[in-house]
Amino acid sequence: MQLSELLAVIRQRWRLIAACVVLAVAAAVAVTLTTTPVYEARARIYMSAERTSGSSNGSVFVLTSEDLDTYVSILDTPAVLGPLRKELGLEPGHPVQVSAQTSGSTSILNITARASDGQEAADVANEVGPQLGKVAGEFSTLLKSSGQKVVSTPIQPATAPSRPVSPDPVRNIGLGLLAGLVLGLGLALIRHALDTKVRGEEDIRAHSDAPMLAGLPLESRGSKRGLISVEEDPHGRHAEAVRRLRTNLMFVDVTTGRHSFVVTSAVPGEGKTTTAVNLALAMADSGRRTLLIDADLRNPSVAKTLAMEGSVGLTTVLLGDADVHDVIQTWGSAGMDVLPAGPIPPNPSELLGSAPMEALLTRLVQEYDFVLIDSPPVVPVIDAVVIERLTGGLLMVVGVDRTKKKDLTAALKQLNTVGAHVCGFARNFVVSKSSDYRYGYHTYEQAIAQDKRRGRRRSAERAAKQRARA
């Protein structure tokens, strides 16, 4: 994975990563607050042997490193901890955590004691030496037979610590932050790898360099004739997005100069037909003489969407049974012309790639300012590729959260194989934030509503005055 792709995943899944970080840090804080604090105290003692008062032996026993290792080994046994608890007034079985280390070849022991109370940890560390001296003779035959005893001399007594050594809030929160980042990034990469659908522009740009011409918002309301927003709701979000698509497509048309485009998608169900209808209406609404052709001869839906007669149309003209102007119908207040598909033929691809089709399209492009052609999806059939070579380019409609990445990849690969030109993408079903439309037509729509309310109030006032005069 390249760095740019990783950054794209982070931008797309940042909420998941942030949630993991927050949860991990919260868990670290909870563990820190509920963990019993542990205080640590250290002491240094010098171990030596000396004669007892009743000893007749004039020699002094010297402690060896083996003796010191023995004392370290018995430090956490009942022989030492039992008398230690009794001396400190601790209950039997009270947990005592103590350890010791020898200091090189010397007779010095470094004592470390841990407890939930700082003073208790210091008392344990200071009491270990005397208790070791009392039981040392029990574990040294030579020392016991010589009548000598072990004496512990404090070198550095332990003091009560003011701060616990555990838990460490800074360390725990830092580890929680790091664990949250790792977990969040891992889950984001896993979701990215398992996510099979197109979610945003990054997923499209990963497969094509063609421009993103518009994002058509997801509309919750429809109509009996379909979602024809440019005609039914000209000041709505969807209609404004279609007009943005129209403007951007006109810039693309400047580079081609052929004034005709195929509107298609990778697979069915991505809204290519409603996009083509709305785009053609927006073209006609701008004053251009526009023709919409339904070239989906396998599943024609333009006539059904517009609730118009579709029994005659493109196939009728290609068979020579009627002139094209006899079957073209005008629809909408903008005067958009529509050429329905007509009867479904048994050989759609051959009919669309025929010489009569090429001659007809050449004639219509010369007569109209703009021609849009609704074609079948690319992956199931080859029809869109056949039509594209007769036009100025291909507009690919991609259904956000609906189109699978593998289908989009297959469609673009098929188009690239035959040299078909994708002029741009229109992302459909985009879930838009209300703040994205706060400026412009959204406020304009509110102004229209206010004007209507003021007009109704004026009419009511005039009617009241007329009744009063009467």
> According to the model, what pLDDT value does residue 440 have?
44
378 plus 246 within the same structural domain: yes
358 and 394 housed in the same domain: yes
pLDDT at 200: 84
Query: Do strands 290-294 and 329-331 pair parallel, antiparallel, or not at all (unpaired)?
Result: unpaired
In a domain, 447, yes or no: no
Query: Domain check: are 43 and 31 in the same one?
Result: no
Using left for φ > 0, alpha for ψ between -120 and 50, and beta otherwise, residue 216 falls in: beta
Same domain? For 349 and 270 the reply is yes
- Are the C-beta atoms of residues 146 and 70 closer than 8 Å to each other? no
* In a shared domain, residues 129 and 259: no
pLDDT at residue 398, rounded to an integer: 96
Residue 219 lies in a domain: yes
Dist CA 388 CA 213 (whole Å): 18
Separation of alpha carbons 245 and 254, rounded Å: 14
- Is there a single domain that holds both residue 399 and residue 272? yes
Compute the distance between CA of residue 413 and CA of residue 408 in angstroms, rounded to an integer: 8
Tell me, yes or no, whether 272 lies in a domain.
yes
pLDDT of residue 191: 85
Looking at residue 458, what is its pLDDT?
Answer: 57
Q: Give the residue ranges of the chain where pLDDT is below 50.
A: 222-226, 434-449, 452
- Residues 288, 231 within the same domain: yes
**pLDDT on residue 278:** 94
Q: Where are the beta strands (DSSP E) in 414-468?
A: 422-430
pLDDT, position 423? 93
Residues 83 and 175 both lie in one domain: no
Question: Quick one: pLDDT at residue 104?
Answer: 80
Phi and psi based region of residue 226 (left: phi greater than 0; alpha: psi -120 to 50; beta: remaining): left
3-state secondary structure of 437: helix
Do 140 and 258 fall into the same domain?
no
Measure the CA–CA gap between 251 and 240, rounded to whole angstroms. 17
Which of 415, 431, 447 is a domain's end point?
431
Q: Has residue 94 been placed in a domain?
A: yes
Coil vs helix vs strand at 105: coil
Sign (positive or negative) of CA dihedral 73, 77, 79, 82: positive
Nearest to 197 by CA among 451, 401, 423: 401
Among 392, 362, 370, residue whose Cα is nearest residue 288 = 370
> Domain of 181?
3-35+167-194
Residues 31 and 44 occupy one common structural domain: no
- Residue 289: inside a domain: yes
Dmax (CA) of the chain: 142
* Residue 91 within any structural domain of the chain: yes
From CA 439, how far away is CA 412, in angstroms rounded? 35
Domain co-membership, 264 together with 411: yes
Q: Count how many domains the chain has.
A: 3
Which spans in 51-206 are helix H?
A: 65-73, 78-88, 118-135, 141-145, 169-194, 201-205
pTM of the model as a whole: 0.62
CA distance linking residue 316 with residue 304, whole number of Å: 18
Same domain, 251 and 347: yes
Q: Can you give the CATH number for the domain in which 136 is found?
A: 3.30.70.1130
Task: At 273, list the tokens.
Answer: 């037909």
Q: Is residue 265 part of a domain?
A: yes
Tell me, yes or no, whether 214 lies in a domain. Answer: yes
Note the pLDDT of residue 272: 94
